[in-house]
Amino acid sequence: MAAGMKSRLSDYASCAGCAAKIAPQTITMVLNQLPTARDPNLIVGLETHDDAGVYRLSDELALVQTVDFFPPVINDPYIYGQIAAANALSDVYAMGGVPKTALNLVCYPDNELSLEWLGQILAGGAERCLASGTAIVGGHTIRDAEIKFGLAVTGVVHPNRVVTNASARPGDRLVLTKPLGTGVVTTAHKKDACPPELFRAACDSMSALNAGASAAMLAEEAHAATDITGFGLAGHGREMADGSGVTLRIELEALPVLPGVEELARPPYLTRASKTNREYVQETLEIRGSPNSARLELFFDAQTSGGLLISIAPHRAERLVERARKSGAAAASIVGEVLPRQRVALIVE
């Protein structure tokens, strides 16, 4: 490597993974200034900050469209490509859709680096697309001082089978399908402070597709869902609560977390996004009792390629967990319930 060049992939990222997202309260102010689309075929637009847009083509077919990309979350370029692709595909799965095509989005300092890392990043992304049955049909590249990679994904869904974040019902149970803690892990990893076994577990979780969890929620006729990424369980949970006009009650001790991550859930391993996620929900959050401080931090932790948060009728919740685990979501757990709207959107105890 030439003199003066940075030695690690993560050296080309000021923020890691989904923690690089603009804070939810900031982007919401911008989105609120945009005109509202009035196309009668637009099933899901910007109104409830859902995971993807859905557009009806016919009585039998709708498009699911999304885009997601971010800076390196780890130093292995191939696994980084896998994680970024799995994360982008997840938005389609969260809507109950099936991804069909994808476009690569690349920012890369080709004036400074060889193309070796870029080839491995694209290969990792291609592997996850192949595993999901998604065809890569092209892409776009930009020279940039920081590395960024992701996908624009188009999927399909029946217009009557769309799952949104705005249909949770009082009495539902809440199921989370992946463990929390990836923001803490990737921050600690960048500081060379993450145990290898914890790091491997986080990489396995982030690169796993949410296809099985999505199929399970469709089979059990879930009412609502969202995938947990940069805004954390707190931020995405608030969006589900506000969109559905309900309150979510979360049991901290029931949350699945990466093994050993609680020991790192403290400064200096908390991301900037953890702070903005906490600020985003603090006015509409009630914390009951004296919760475990590490688990509370993981509630706010910015996730990269996290699991699905699913709202489902109580008599179907256990079957959903069983189906999801058999489909590869080994951490799937019931983590709370949906209440009629209270004075707050979120209750944590």
Q: Which residues contact 37 (CB under 8 A, 6 or more apart)?
A: 45, 46
Confirm if 200 and 260 have CB atoms less than 8 A apart.
Answer: no
> From CA 130, how far away is CA 135, in angstroms rounded?
7
Q: Which residues contact 98 (CB under 8 A, 6 or more apart)?
A: 92, 133, 155, 156, 157
> From CA 2, how far away is CA 6, in angstroms rounded?
9
Tokens, residue 100 = 């069909």
| Residues designated as active site | 18
Closest CA to 309 of 204, 207, 206, 239: 239
Q: Which residues contact 348 (CB under 8 A, 6 or more apart)?
A: 249, 250, 252, 285, 286, 287, 288, 291, 296, 299
